[in-house]
Amino acid sequence: MKQPPSPDLRYLFEPRSLAVIGASADERKIGHSILKNIIDGGFKGEIYPVNPRGGSILGLQAYPDIGEIPGVVDAASIAVPADLVFDAVKDCVRKDVKFGMIITSGFSEIGKTAEEREIVGYANSNGMRILGPNIFGLYSSVASLNATFGPGRISPGNVAIITQSGALGLAMIGKTAVENIGVSAIVSIGNKADVDESDLLQYLVAQTRTQIIMMYMEGVKKGERLIKILMDSTKKKPIVIIKSGRSERGAIAAASHTGSLAGSDKVFDNLMRQCGALRAESIEEGFNWCKYLANNPVPGGEETVIITNGGGIGVLAADACEKYSVKLFDDNMRLRETFSIATPDFGSTRNPVDITGQATSRDYDSAFNAALYDPHINSAIGLYCETAVFDAANLEHLVVETYESFLESRKPIVFSLFGGEGTEVTLRSLAKQGVPAYGDVYEAVSSLGAMYSYYRNIIERAGEMPADSMDMKGLSDMQSIISNVLKNDRNFLLAQEAHDLMSIAGIRMPQSATARNLDEATVLAERIGYPVVMKVVSRDIIHKSDAGGVALDLENRGEVIDAYQAIMRNSRANVPNAVIEGVEIAEMIKEGTEIIIGARRDRTFGPIVMVGLGGIYVEVLKDVSFRAFPLERQEIMNMIKEIRSYALLLGVRGEEPRDIDALIETIIKVGYVIINCREISDIEVNPLMVYEQGRGAMAVDARILLEKSEVR
């Protein structure tokens, strides 16, 4: 049956009217708290309590039935026991309600998935959408709507929060108040049976009030869609993600290296990075980033300077810069020019700029000003260790003034202050004023690092082009190989089939052919090109080398003739009754850097790809990185750079650099195959020999698996 069109999410965030089904006069009930928050929050639209008893609740007329409400009802909060929810949804449908927020617990989270699906299915097929169930509700500053049963006071601002966890979400509301974070929206998605984070992202990215979005996630349901939407959203606004369940996908049965390596949080982490989302390690860090990104300018470039009165803390900050990919300005001549007026002779104008332990607020002031007015410096980290000589009474004023002038010049700055009680008091006061000053150096640098991740994401993806797509030629040939495999009731391709499919995709594999006689052997060897290897082809000879049936590294016609005769002679002598079908002539594989490329159709994220150091130690070294298809060239390059063995591709100890372009090409082609051949579940090229620059790459072995369900 055709679904009616989905209502615009504006009806959820800015409803003209809202019904509370399960509104109660009893203060202990959730339906009471929600109604009270809506009234106290100053909701701009009509509020309709619904309760079978009717009468008046919190000064508003209550309707025994939603059908009796005179005006339109755009959205309804449903807070009645689980067994009454379906009837309430049916009542909403009759009233043409566009969004139902089902607060009630007791559905898929306790295994009642069928009940949940039935309710959502019914609502959707009647043009109504569901938020939840199992949620604490929604806050939307644009409508002054606090339809939650959380804290009553939420300060409006520019940070939107989407949370899958109810309890944590409620706690986050409290945290926003403590941290002075203004909120544009808070949405609890609970079981996300219908409206999910992707829907909400689309709305919030387009909404002008929201400047930054923070998502707390526990699991991903429709990963492929989430990736597409995130890719687009992160170009417009920073998106901070906190995800728990770091090993939740570890249980996936592994049919390949890629499968077993994909069974970790690493895939999620890599894909989020690919999308340009900022993944925080903890809620605390997520809040820090949100606060920082919401209130500070995006830098004009990558050059950061550290100004410190302590060498030790300066080194700590430099370490933190490395961890969070904050680039330190290292033009020493320029640094000397800029900072010599603020640095005593026994200090250092190198980055970290050490104005020494004797620095006063005036010295700091002149160093900060030097950084502020130097056009080569784009951001700063101010460090302070409490000392006896520093005029502590000026500390707060110094930090506030400096922060404001940096803000005005659109240069981001962070501070880390370390010391006793006085410093702690200053830190608390600065936090209240929204100045990014932290006790811990790593916290400070982590916020600046998040800003730089966002900055790089915008810069790098501004001119993003889709990866070259191949023409459709050959796709039908690939399909016919796959159909043949399926006909034979197999879910894997034989070596020759995989070889043929890869060759059609344009991935170079060692050429080989079988010669039935000596003449054919010489012709084939010429065609394949020297050096070649030769192997006897006979079902009766299992151990070919032992039988003298193998010859390696044959350089010319003469060697091929000798080897052919020797193979025939040895094989007949060692296995007298063997039926010999011929001799296989194959291209000799040259040594190269061994890389693995694995692609799989991930159940959550769709087609993903892995690249890493190949060979037999793949699973031990786990030196791999992941991305989701489709991929553009630059992102493939980023992915390759992420592996620790990247240095091997650049060439070590005087070696020639490797043909990284050929590696990128191969990844694109593998992607083409997995995207277009939907029956394929896994492709593993291992090893791919990557040769010197300009000499290409060769897939020595390729395994291709098909979806099991297609085989049955």
Interface positions with ligand COA (CB under 6 A): 21-22, 24-26, 29-31, 50-53, 79-82, 84, 88, 103-106, 134-136, 166, 188
CB neighbour list of residue 655: distance below 8 Å, 6 or more residues apart: none
Pairing of strands 697-699, 379-385: unpaired
> Of all helices (H) and strands (E), which one includes residue 707?
none
Q: How far apart are CA 20 and CA 32, in angstroms?
A: 9
Minimum distance, C-beta of residue 48 to ligand COA, in the bound complex (Å)? 11
Minimum distance, C-beta of residue 165 to ligand COA, in the bound complex (Å)? 8
Tell me the β-bridge partners of 46: 17
SS3 category, 102? strand
Closer to ligand COA by Cβ: residue 45 or 190: 190
CB neighbour list of residue 683: distance below 8 Å, 6 or more residues apart: 597, 598, 599, 600, 670, 673, 674, 702, 703, 704, 705
Alpha-helical runs (H) found in 622-707: 633-642, 646-650, 660-676
Minimum distance, C-beta of residue 395 to ligand COA, in the bound complex (Å)? 42
SS3 category, 235? coil
Closer to ligand COA by Cβ: residue 104 or 423: 104
Position of tokens 């916290």? 443
Minimum distance, C-beta of residue 80 to ligand COA, in the bound complex (Å)? 4
Closer to ligand COA by Cβ: residue 176 or 426: 176
Closer to ligand COA by Cβ: residue 24 or 140: 24
* Longest Cα–Cα distance in the chain: 105
Closest residue to ligand COA using C-beta atoms: 166
Closer to ligand COA by Cβ: residue 110 or 178: 110
Minimum distance, C-beta of residue 135 to ligand COA, in the bound complex (Å)? 6
Closer to ligand COA by Cβ: residue 196 or 224: 196
Give percent helix, percent strand, percent coil of the chain, each to the nearest 5: 40, 20, 35
Question: What is the DSSP-derived secondary structure letter of residue 299?
Answer: P
Closer to ligand COA by Cβ: residue 188 or 234: 188
Closer to ligand COA by Cβ: residue 31 or 299: 31
Minimum distance, C-beta of residue 62 to ligand COA, in the bound complex (Å)? 9
Minimum distance, C-beta of residue 66 to ligand COA, in the bound complex (Å)? 8
Could you tell me the two tokens for 602?
Answer: 């991930």
Q: How far apart are CA 28 and CA 51, in angstroms?
A: 15
Position of tokens 């829907």? 199
Helix axes of 223-233 and 265-275: crossing angle, nearest 10 degrees? 30
Closer to ligand COA by Cβ: residue 23 or 143: 23
CA angle 413, 418, 420 (to 5 degrees): 145
Minimum distance, C-beta of residue 104 to ligand COA, in the bound complex (Å)? 4
| Cα–Cα nearest to 285, from 240, 218, 235 | 240
Minimum distance, C-beta of residue 243 to ligand COA, in the bound complex (Å)? 18
Closer to ligand COA by Cβ: residue 81 or 245: 81
User: Which residue pairs, CB below 8 angstroms and at least 24 apart, start in 193-196?
Assistant: 193/107, 193/108, 193/116, 193/117, 193/119, 193/120, 193/130, 193/132, 193/133, 194/120, 194/123, 194/124, 194/129, 194/130, 194/131, 195/9, 195/12, 195/99, 195/129, 195/130, 195/131, 196/221, 196/222, 196/226
Minimum distance, C-beta of residue 115 to ligand COA, in the bound complex (Å)? 13
Minimum distance, C-beta of residue 287 to ligand COA, in the bound complex (Å)? 20
Could you tell me the two tokens for 633?
Answer: 């060239």
Closer to ligand COA by Cβ: residue 88 or 307: 88
- Contact yes or no for 314/383 (Cβ under 8 A): yes
Minimum distance, C-beta of residue 32 to ligand COA, in the bound complex (Å)? 7
Closer to ligand COA by Cβ: residue 27 or 489: 27
| Cα–Cα nearest to 267, from 696, 600, 645, 516 | 600
Minimum distance, C-beta of residue 593 to ligand COA, in the bound complex (Å)? 51
Minimum distance, C-beta of residue 149 to ligand COA, in the bound complex (Å)? 8
SS3 category, 64? coil
Closer to ligand COA by Cβ: residue 62 or 674: 62
Q: How far apart are CA 370 and CA 248, in angstroms?
A: 50
Minimum distance, C-beta of residue 79 to ligand COA, in the bound complex (Å)? 4
Q: How far apart are CA 178 and CA 291, in angstroms?
A: 12
Rg (C-alpha) for the chain, rounded Å, is 32
Closer to ligand COA by Cβ: residue 135 or 226: 135
CB neighbour list of residue 306: distance below 8 Å, 6 or more residues apart: 314, 317, 318, 321, 328, 351, 352, 353, 380, 381, 383
Minimum distance, C-beta of residue 144 to ligand COA, in the bound complex (Å)? 22
Could you tell me the two tokens for 57?
Answer: 């609740």
Q: How far apart are CA 323 and CA 421, in angstroms?
A: 29
Q: How far apart are CA 458 and CA 30, in angstroms?
A: 43
Minimum distance, C-beta of residue 241 to ligand COA, in the bound complex (Å)? 20
- Contact yes or no for 48/75 (Cβ under 8 A): no
Q: How far apart are CA 667 and CA 653, in angstroms?
A: 27
